[in-house]
Copies of this chain bind each other. A is one copy, B any other.
Amino acid sequence: MKYTYLGPEGTFSEAALLSVPGADDAERIPSVSVPAALAKVRDRSVDAAMVPIENSVEGGVTATLDAIGAGDDLRIVREVLVPIRFVLIGAPGKTLDDVRVVSTHSHAWAQVRGWMDEALPEVDYLPSSSTAAAAVAFLDNEAPGYDAAVCSPIVPEQHPELNLLATDIGDNVNAVTRFVLVTAARNGLPRPEPTGADKTTVVVPLPEDSAGALMGLLEQFAARGVNLSRIESRPTGEALGSYFFSIDAEGHLDNLRMRNALRGLHRVSPGVKFLGSYPRADGKEPLLDTHHSDEAFSRADEWVDNL
């Protein structure tokens, strides 16, 4: 197996990838962006990509949501939850008192603002393309235009020579990012089997911009007792008010309630895309009433077939 992830080395994406059995010893290629990582999956130069999809503080990772929904040839096969912790790395020789400019990815910056306001209220911010990139620049003895970088604790673990100024500087100790492992749709690898605690991800264009239209989509899930664990609106890019929805629903394609919900979705929005069924990272099983069990669906099918 050959993997890619949102690089460079030392990102939370790499940490997520390392939790996949076997990834440790497999080939792991960093990508400069989510679209670049998914492009490698699509052209089969790697088998799978680990990319962030949702952050408990910052929300959906829009680059991933948009890139993953842009073709129907991808499948999510696994999700990984990574607790998000931040450390502050200084330029060589600098102390906390010397810090005037801090660089990091804008998502990370948003999650350490509280700490910064207290510890370094005067500091200026310089955006970077990734958390790890801002930190590892210090290794090259570059003078990168800033005095400190915010990054994941993995970076100083991998590079103990870095100048660690502070740890656990995240504002929200419960912050967690959800990553997904994405493969090509028809790559011959086995699909995740239903475990009883699964998720299914779909992307659905909203047929028209009305409360009724969105209710029409949601009803397809609700009417079959399928709960949603994530729902995000994204613009289609065509016009203001033109949306698609990225949805995680509880259950597996092999559950009859899910098959029926997907059938209903396809009828009201034929452009719906299926992005895979895979085990939930938290192993939480859905609460089902008897109307929505596989048995109730089978019995109903049988009854109608016998009429």
Enumerate chain A interface residues (CB-CB to B < 8 A): 54-60, 62, 81, 106, 125-129, 145, 172, 174, 176, 178, 209-212, 214-215, 218-219, 221-223, 226-235, 237-243, 249, 253, 259, 262-264, 266-268, 270, 274, 291-292, 296-297, 299-301, 303-304, 307
Contact = CB atoms under 8 A, between A and B. Distances in A.
B262 A304 contact: yes
A232 B233 contact: yes
A227 B211 contact: yes
B297 A267 contact: yes
Given A128-B127, A211-B221, A215-B219, A56 B266 contact: no
A170 to B, nearest CB: 11
Nearest to A242: B56
Contacts of A229: 209, 240-241
B223 A304 contact: no
A195 to B, nearest CB: 18
Contact of A218 (B106, B128, B214, B221): B214
Q: How many copies, total?
A: 4
A304 B172 CA distance: 34
B227 A210 contact: yes
Contacts of A58: 62, 235
Contacts of A300: 262-264, 266-267, 270
Nearest to A263: B300
Contacts of A262: 300, 303-304, 307
A301 B263 contact: yes
Contacts of A209: 227-229
Given A243-B231, A299-B270, A259 B304 contact: yes
A238 B57 CA distance: 7
A66 to B, nearest CB: 9
A223 B219 contact: yes
B215 A266 contact: no
Nearest to A210: B227
25 contacts: A56-B240, A56-B242, A57-B235, A58-B62, A81-B240, A106-B127, A127-B129, A174-B238, A209-B228, A210-B222, A211-B218, A214-B228, A214-B231, A218-B218, A229-B240, A233-B233, A262-B303, A262-B304, A263-B300, A263-B301, A263-B303, A266-B300, A266-B303, A267-B296, A270-B299
